[in-house]
């Protein structure tokens, strides 16, 4: 990750770990199960890589899986350990995973894969995955087929991870993996205008922004939400799409 701004964004989340844990959405069970179904056999041992505060870890643990969560930021790991005490929490990163060879049946990455050095990470992921195991990157996005959501998304968009779902981007290839498949799943997150603004405040481009610039951006978001009839009063369901990719280890 040679771009210094991108590197700053990738390492920025620890400063907002508690807010991230409170305000970021979880992942739908059907998306997790679709990812798991790409593996041969029945996956039992699962790695959540770049696990953050455990949003995806929690969904994996709820399926009764043996989950190890690897996360570089100590502040994020502390939240993960509080929220998902049943998971094994380890310090580490995608390019240097602290697990033995062929030790897991599946590797998940929720809202994280775009921060990895993809070629190096996939080689390392291939090392810890057993043959026939599956790699499953996942992302939650606002459902821009809904008109007001599309308008809102323009105000809060970060852009860094969008390349993975842009139609002109070819999925990454790696000799250790079969080609990626993808599927999209409808999802929602219960929000208020204020909690949705707080969600956007956990995005990396705002975390590292000049405080005055970040405040101005959030003021525009709050103004939009206060004027929009779908979000102006009380709680509402924010429509989301969970894009899920899977590739089997050769």
230 in a domain, yes or no? no
Domain range for residue 83? 4-140+160-188+242-248
C-alpha closest to that of 31 among 146, 188, 186 = 186
Task: Tally the domains of the chain.
Answer: 1
225 in a domain, yes or no? no
Q: How far apart are CA 89 and CA 87, in angstroms?
A: 6
63 in a domain, yes or no? yes
Read off the pLDDT of each residue in 222-242 and give the average, rounded to a whole number: 97
H-only helix segments in the chain: 4-10, 17-23, 29-36, 55-62, 74-83, 118-128, 147-156, 193-201, 204-207, 211-227
User: What is residue 1's predicted lDDT score, i.e. its pLDDT?
Assistant: 47
C-alpha closest to that of 140 among 226, 41, 59 = 59
| DSSP string of 179-232, one letter each residue | PPEEEEEEEEEEE-HHHHHHHHHTSHHHHSS-HHHHHHHHHHHHHHHHH-TTTS
pLDDT in tens, 116-169: 999 999 999 999 999 999 999 999 999 999 999 999 988 865 444 455 566 445
145 in a domain, yes or no? no
pLDDT in tens, 75-93: 999 999 999 999 999 999 9
Strands 66-70 and 45-49: parallel
pLDDT in tens, 92-124: 999 999 999 999 999 999 999 988 999 999 999
200 in a domain, yes or no? no
Q: How far apart are CA 70 and CA 93, in angstroms?
A: 7
* Whether pLDDT at 188 is above 60: yes
Residue 109 belongs to a domain with what CATH number? 3.40.50.150
61 in a domain, yes or no? yes
198 in a domain, yes or no? no
Considering only CA atoms, give the Rg of the chain.
18
C-alpha closest to that of 34 among 1, 63, 3 = 63
Read off the pLDDT of each residue in 25-44 and give the average, rounded to a whole number: 97
Q: How far apart are CA 194 and CA 177, in angstroms?
A: 42
Q: How confident is the model at residue 8 (pLDDT cuts 50, 70, 90)?
A: low
66 forms beta bridges with 45
Residue with tokens 């599309």: 150
Q: How far apart are CA 156 and CA 172, in angstroms?
A: 27
User: What is residue 168's predicted lDDT score, i.e. its pLDDT?
Assistant: 47
| Global confidence as pTM | 0.89
123 in a domain, yes or no? yes
């Amino acid at each position: 990750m040679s771009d210094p701004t991108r590197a700053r964004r990738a390492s920025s989340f620890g400063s907002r770990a508690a807010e991230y844990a409170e305000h970021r959405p979880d992942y739908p069970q059907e998306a997790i199960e679709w990812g798991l179904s790409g593996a041969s056999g029945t996956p039992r041992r699962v790695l959540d890589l770049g696990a953050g505060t455990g949003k995806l870890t929690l969904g994996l643990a709820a399926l009764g899986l043996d989950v190890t969560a690897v996360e570089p930021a100590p502040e994020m790991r502390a939240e993960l350990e509080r929220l998902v005490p049943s998971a094994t929490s380890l310090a580490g990163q995608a390019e240097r995973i602290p697990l033995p060879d062929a030790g897991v049946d599946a590797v998940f990455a929720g809202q994280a894969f775009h921060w990895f050095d993809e070629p190096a990470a996939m080689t390392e992921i291939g090392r810890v995955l057993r043959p026939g195991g599956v790699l499953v990157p996942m992302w939650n996005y606002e459902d821009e087929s809904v008109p007001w959501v599309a308008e809102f998304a323009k105000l809060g968009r970060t852009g860094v991870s969008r390349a993975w779902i842009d139609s002109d981007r070819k999925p990454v290839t790696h000799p250790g993996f079969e080609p990626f498949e993808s599927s999209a799943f409808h999802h929602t997150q219960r929000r208020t205008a204020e909690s949705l603004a707080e969600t956007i405040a956990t995005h990396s481009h705002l975390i590292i922004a000049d405080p005055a610039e970040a405040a101005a951006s959030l003021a525009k978001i709050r103004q939009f939400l206060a004027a929009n009839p779908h979000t102006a009063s009380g709680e509402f369901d924010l429509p989301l799409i969970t894009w899920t990719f899977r590739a089997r280890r050769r």
